[in-house]
Structure 1
């Protein structure tokens, strides 16, 4: 499956200072969403951020709030799954259950949740919160999701007395159109993988090499089978740089890398829990440029054939959902549909879909 990620946030295509036509505007968001729908993309998901990472352009500093954003996207699309990214500590489960049910009705049964357990201290500080410990994050997340699902499914008011929520008379009407709106959860740690395999339909992963990705995928399948959820999907995020020739693509990649916003990349690394003090001074430049060029997962660079080959390799490593981003969505996304997507069908890693 193919998806679009983060078009509600500035810096969607990487942490650099190279000019782009991409902007955080409702008109452009509508255009991208409608393109994705017509091209046969299956997934559309925003980034949730309340405060940026600084640097020259304040990477991810300008964002639309995700629930209202995706309600709007749901109203103008007819096919893509409209997945709402929520930082769980900042959104009460009673409210979330009602909001997602509403979006499910707006979309005629296409709403889902991308569950983020809460890790960015600057965001959480704006709500008077502090991140839970890594272990407690998933205990909180489980209780949060249990409440939401009970509101979605139970027909009589119920009380809930848990570690994090003490609730009385919970009920939600109307119910979602879907019996069980899909759940997405990022998972790299053993605790995260266990949570995702027990609760999610898709899990996100980041990786340093294809070998590591394959190892993670194999472990995910093993844990998922033990959890009775063998069909859980594995998703990644990719920046696509597709040009007529490999030389052109590599030159543009080098241009982006040369103009990386190292301050923002460093701030992102620190907030993500990376011990930057362990990076040797002579390695800092390359280290932070690597982060800047792939804040999600991977950068796919080359001709249409080469991009398709790289996507086939991701598929062979166990990835069955790929969220793609572009430096210039309005120009590059249609070309991706014309040149790359047919090659994916020819390689047998994507079924033909109705477009238009």
Structure 2
């Protein structure tokens, strides 16, 4: 008898909350922005709710107007190692750019996190759209398509490195004095347009084989990249109709890469504002709106749209803006279409974006929030959700303690974890090493001699 389909829930941990005015609300403590205990508390709350994973975004520049918002958090991989130490089952997903890193570093860091956590690591693959990031590395921002071409090869190199140790390469035979079978450790000898990497990796194969691969773009290039490689997609849609279109589109692309629909999970973002009554939820939403600083939102919207907006334009419609850009295409398109579809003034648009930066914001009781999630899940718009609490930790605790039980009562969400790894809980297969599976020549026999591992220690 086939198992009943269950939704998947990731929570996106962002400082003291996703609402841009969260730091001003009395339920938050902005001084905890760089306090590891704050994030450990959040991870434990999420694990208490049996959520699949926690996710940390990242950028390589100070994005936004720090004068008006609590910005400047911690580096994700470092932080997730600390979260691994206080949790047991929840997945740990970090954003790392393919544009301003090298494959060997990234492969080693994620392999290390996967070992530290016992198989709970995931990589959110981004190509870094911002000009400020490029300027921090002394270059001009690469073109959108060029960033994705580099990302394709980058991922190829990283997965080869993860595969370079077969699963049973470590023998640990103390009596014979043999720690590893070097015939099962493979140089990758990659030579491509962007990278030349000999390998092998100097860390043994990750417990999951490959840490979970996540992608978070909805542009044409991003969607095609996800269809080729990703196992989960964090996406943003405002309406169920839009979500259905994206869901059908990306699932429909999988077959040409020899993949099945269940091999890619689509998780739209949602920022739930929860109250014991609808009036209480709407009151909290209004409290947050009243704390918005327009100058901050204008700076964010100006960066997103590529045109400078001023306070003199707050009560005007959004000016005509071309959708195409070398920056973040999908989010820019979403914002422009939202403003046009609902005929919003700039001020109204700022209010709509303040809670989720283009992700859907829903205010209501736990039952009403669950209704929304169920409608999208059963209506062909999602395999689960990327939960973005407006306030942290209170918003996450409210979701875990009140919305999750409602979903469990409806049979939509797990009662307990399915396994010990992130792949187990997402229901995704563990990939075999390409070298073991392909029957490639044993590395120790290359050129008639043993594998040279000099300098690997």
TM-score normalised to structure 1 length? 0.91
Larger Rg: 2
The change in CA–CA distance for 1:164 and 1:270 in structure 2 (over 3 A counts) is farther
Q: Which residue of 2 aligns with 1:112?
A: 122
State the match for 1:164 in structure 2.
194
Matches of 1:280 and 1:29, distance apart in 2? 40
Which residue does the alignment assign to 1:146? 156
Instruction: State the secondary structure of the residue aligned to 1:266.
Output: helix
TM-score, structure 2 as length reference: 0.72
Matched residue count: 352
Q: Is the 8 A contact 2:55 2:93 kept in 1?
A: yes
CA contact (8 A) 2:240 2:381 kept: no
The range that moved more, 110-119 or 267-276, is 267-276
Partner of 2:19: 14
Please provide the CA RMSD for this pair: 2.3
* Structure 1: distance between partners of 2:306 and 2:349: 11
**Deviation sequence 1:203-240 (CA, Å, 0-9, x none):** 12112322111111111111123333222111122222
Q: CA contact under 8 A between 2:50 and 2:414: conserved in structure 1?
A: no
**Structure 2: gaps of 5 or more residues:** 1-7, 165-184, 310-316, 321-343, 419-457
Corresponding position of 1:234: 266
Which sections of structure 1, spanning at least 5 residues, go unmatched?
Answer: none
**Matched-pair contact (CA < 8 Å) for 2:114–2:121:** yes
What displacement does 1:102 show? 0.6
In the aligned structure 1, how far is the partner of 2:67 from the partner of 2:364? 28
Structure 1's consecutive aligned runs of 4 or more residues displaced over 4 angstroms after TM superposition are 273-278
Q: 2:216 aligns with which of 167, 186, 190?
A: 186
Determine the C-alpha separation between the residues in 2 that align with 1:295 and 1:78.
31
The yes-or-no answer on 1:51 pairing with 2:51 is no
Distance 1:306 1:276, change over 3 A: farther
Of structures 1 and 2, the one with the larger relative CO (CA 8 A, separation 6+) is 2
1:27 corresponds to which of 37, 42, 51:
37
How far did 1:274 drift?
5.2
C-alpha change, 1:21 and 1:233, in structure 2 (3 Å) is: same
| 1:173 aligned counterpart, secondary structure | coil
Q: Would you say the 8 A contact 2:157–2:197 is kept in 1?
A: no
Residue 56 of structure 1: CA displacement?
Answer: 4.2
Pick which of 113-122 and 249-258 moved more: 249-258
CA distance in 2, matches of 1:165, 1:149: 14
Residue of 231, 236, 252 corresponding to 1:201 = 231
Alignment CA distance shift 1:105-1:338 (3 Å): same
Identify the residue that residue 340 of structure 2 maps to in structure 1. Answer: none
Cα distance in 1, alignment partners of residues 375 and 41 from structure 2:
30
